[in-house]
Amino acid sequence: MDRNADAPWSKFDPEVYVDNNYRTPLEVDLLIVRLMRDHFGQCLADVAPGSLRGVDVGAGANLYPALSMLPWCAKVLLLEYARPNVEYLERQTGPEGYDTAWDAFWDVLSQGPAHRAVEHPRSRVGEIVRVERANLFDLDGRRRWDIGTMFFVADSMSECPEEFQRGVRCFMNALNEGAPFAVAFMKESVGYDVGEHHYPAYRVNRDLAAESLEPFSGGLTIHDLDHVVRPGHEGMLLALGRRNAEVAAP
């Protein structure tokens, strides 16, 4: 059984990952972005722009979760462990602005009123988004955020069920009560390749996703998306909800 510490994270190639998944937008990602936009927009309809602290845990080489939180946040932190991904994210949030690959995702986001009101998303990202190298397991609940995302992380770093459950707990315990969240899993993934390297996964279905998230959640909705984008999985799961008042042991 491959655990998180066994994976070759130092060799992760973010450019290959972006080329495979985001350079040409996939229908399922655009759907996820729309569902997340509407969820956050509904939850935060009465929240002043630029007033929250947001976090994307295990950001990897994916900028659209951060873009989804942009209208409501004064600060967004991208937490990522793999050094190549940290360097990629630092380039995307630097003075030159993010790559044009992310424009298609912003186009979908900007169909909602809150995102449409952000006049210069590239400069806004440079102003408020920061990158920090950190391990998901090091989140212990002492740092708390008002809105959060975790995309293809707890399920895509280990084959170990205990590490999957711990990853979910660590993310959810980093959110303040009432914080809207979006969590995505690859459904029934048996692992994935990035370039020449293989990375482990824990096989998650809808029931397991609900079981792991419900203790922390209010108004949980899980979208079971029947989109297969590569060999070795059966679709995607998008969980949307708000953090409840419960506190679980790390």
Cross-strand bridge partners of residue 54: 76, 147
Contact partners, residue 45, CB within 8 Å, separation at least 6? none
**What tokens were used for 12?**
């992760």
* Average pLDDT of span 190-214: 88
Summarised one tens digit per residue, pLDDT across range 113-122 is 999 999 999 9
**Residue ranges per domain, the chain?**
4-243
**What tokens were used for 8?**
């070759």
**What tokens were used for 228?**
């297969």
How far is residue 121's CA from residue 175's CA, in Å, rounded to a whole number?
Answer: 25
**What tokens were used for 148?**
């959060």
Q: Does 230 score more than 90 pLDDT?
A: no
Kindly state the percentage of the chain with pLDDT values over 90: 74
Q: Residue 9 has what pLDDT? A: 75
57 or 156, which is more confident?
57
The model's confidence at residue 167, banded by pLDDT at 50, 70 and 90, is: very high
How far is residue 82's CA from residue 93's CA, in Å, rounded to a whole number?
Answer: 17
How far is residue 154's CA from residue 170's CA, in Å, rounded to a whole number?
Answer: 10
Q: HSE (CB half, 13 Å, CA atoms) of 103?
A: 5
* Average pLDDT of span 172-186: 96
Q: Residue 105 has what pLDDT? A: 98
**What tokens were used for 105?**
């995702």
How far is residue 92's CA from residue 111's CA, in Å, rounded to a whole number?
Answer: 23
Q: Which CATH superfamily is domain 4-243 in?
A: Vaccinia Virus protein VP39 (3.40.50.150)
* Average pLDDT of span 187-205: 84
The percent of the chain in helix, strand and coil, each rounded to the nearest 5, is 40, 25, 40
Q: Which amino acid, residue 166?
A: R
The model's confidence at residue 209, banded by pLDDT at 50, 70 and 90, is: very high
Where is average pLDDT lowest: 161-165, 196-200, 221-225?
Answer: 196-200
The model's confidence at residue 196, banded by pLDDT at 50, 70 and 90, is: confident
Three-state DSSP string of 210-239: HHHHHHHEEEEEEEEECCCCCCCCCCEEEE
* Average pLDDT of span 232-240: 90
Q: Residue 193 has what pLDDT? A: 77
